[in-house]
């Protein structure tokens, strides 16, 4: 509790100090305008002051502080770690449009929040010093692992959605190519007709091609952002077909059939696992309840008789 209070007061003092520095700079600019005696500049200064007062607290105080913190922390983060984090965030779909630096800063904030909350909870419970240490360690572990668990879950959800969308995307691509469209035009038609993870990724792919990337590089970027076996095979087949001059219609048709067949096999596997998953709740919860209902009255009558 005391740590949280100290951090809050420190953040407020820092924000007020930064606000004071900005106020001093603004006053200097106003004095310069007054010394020049230019009425136009003075009116512009009044207008700027009025607009500044109308801005929210976030834009006036918190946003400049946040930008300065990001600038300082970026110098401490190595390029290799930043690239790995950026890749992980892209695979997760860029949640909240976070960059690698912002993700690290939020993780550092969690390093203060979770241990402080758990230690405060231990203070109210009256635990010993060892208990405080244990709670602090648990808080640090939660702050360390929770962001990455969240990213892994987002990656898993995106891959599941992409896997579900892939057969329909392939069918639309096949129909568009058979109608005489080129690959890029067919991809554009699919993006217009469908929404989802694959559509957004292919839209980004087309934008990268328009900006000067080769088709191979843009498709390879899609493969890096979606860690899904079916997408990896699809991109590889497209690149190989383009390299060898093969038609893409047959490639997409075969790929679509394979994806549907794998999906059917996965559904059969899940159906075969269902009885095993039901067995444990059945034995632990349902059978005891049935025994109580069936044998309970007989046991009570037996006890009353003897």
Q: Would you state the pLDDT for residue 190?
A: 86
Q: Would you state the pLDDT for residue 17?
A: 46
- Render pLDDT for 112-152 as a digit per residue (tens, 0 to 9): 888 888 888 888 888 788 888 888 899 889 988 999 999 99
Number of domains in the chain: 2
Q: Which two tokens stand for residue 93?
A: 């779909």
Max mean pLDDT range (1-10, 70-79, 127-136, 282-291): 127-136
Average pLDDT value over all residues in the chain: 77
Q: How far apart are CA 264 and CA 35, in angstroms?
A: 80
Please tell me whether residues 174 and 70 are part of one structural domain.
no
Please tell me whether residues 145 and 175 are part of one structural domain.
no
Q: Which of 207, 208, 199, 209 is nearest to 231 (CA)?
A: 199
Per the confidence metrics, is the pTM higher than 0.85?
no
Q: Which domain holds residue 237?
A: 158-263
Q: How far apart are CA 106 and CA 147, in angstroms?
A: 9
- Residue 168 belongs to what H/E stretch? helix 129-178
Please tell me whether residues 10 and 108 are part of one structural domain.
yes
- For residue 268, with 0-12 CB atoms within 10 Å meaning exposed, 13-18 middle and 19 or more buried, which class applies? exposed
Whether 42 is in a domain gets the answer: yes
Contacts of 119 (CB under 8 A, 6+ apart): 1, 3, 132, 135, 136, 139
Q: Would you state the pLDDT for residue 35?
A: 52
Q: Is the pLDDT of residue 55 over 70?
A: no
Q: Which two tokens stand for residue 50?
A: 């009025």
Please tell me whether residues 162 and 23 are part of one structural domain.
no
Please tell me whether residues 119 and 221 are part of one structural domain.
no
pLDDT band at 32 (very low <50, low <70, confident <90, very high): low
Q: Would you state the pLDDT for residue 187?
A: 87
Q: Which of residues 154, 189, 207 is at a domain's end? A: 154
Percent of the chain with pLDDT over 70: 78
Q: What is the DSSP string of 106-165?
A: HHHHHHHHHHHHHHHHHHHHT--HHHHHHHHHHHHHHHHHHHHHHHHHHHHHHHHHHHHH
Please tell me whether residues 179 and 48 are part of one structural domain.
no
- Render pLDDT for 213-263 as a digit per residue (tens, 0 to 9): 888 888 888 888 888 888 888 888 888 888 887 778 888 888 888 888 888
Under 8 Å between Cβ of 135 and 118: yes
pLDDT band at 46 (very low <50, low <70, confident <90, very high): low
């Amino acid at each position: 509790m005391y740590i949280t209070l100290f951090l809050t007061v420190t953040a407020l003092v820092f924000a007020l100090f930064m606000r004071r520095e900005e106020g001093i700079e603004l006053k200097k600019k106003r004095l310069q305008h007054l010394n020049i005696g230019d009425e136009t500049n003075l009116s512009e200064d009044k207008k700027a002051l009025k607009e500044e007062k109308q801005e929210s607290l976030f834009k006036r105080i918190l946003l400049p502080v946040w930008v300065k913190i990001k600038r300082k922390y970026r110098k401490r983060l190595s390029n290799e770690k930043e690239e790995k984090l950026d890749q992980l965030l892209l695979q997760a779909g860029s949640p909240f449009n976070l960059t690698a630096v912002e993700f690290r800063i939020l993780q550092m904030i969690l390093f203060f929040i979770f241990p402080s909350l758990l230690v405060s909870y231990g203070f109210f419970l009256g635990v010993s010093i060892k208990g405080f240490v244990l709670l602090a360690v648990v808080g640090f572990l939660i702050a360390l692992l929770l962001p990455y668990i969240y990213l892994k879950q987002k990656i898993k959800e995106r891959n599941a959605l992409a896997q579900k969308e892939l057969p329909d995307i392939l069918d639309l691509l096949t129909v568009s190519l058979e109608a005489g469209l080129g690959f890029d035009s067919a991809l554009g038609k699919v993006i217009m007709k469908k929404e989802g993870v694959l559509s957004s990724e292919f839209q980004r792919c087309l934008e990268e091609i328009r900006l000067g990337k080769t088709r191979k590089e843009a498709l390879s970027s899609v493969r890096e952002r979606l860690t899904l076996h079916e997408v990896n095979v699809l991109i590889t087949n497209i690149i190989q077909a383009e390299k060898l001059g093969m038609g893409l219609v047959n490639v997409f048709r075969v790929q679509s059939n394979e994806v549907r067949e794998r999906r059917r096999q996965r559904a059969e596997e899940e159906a075969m696992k269902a009885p095993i998953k039901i067995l444990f709740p059945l034995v632990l919860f349902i059978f005891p309840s049935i025994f109580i209902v069936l044998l309970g009255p007989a046991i009570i009558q037996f006890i009353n008789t003897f």
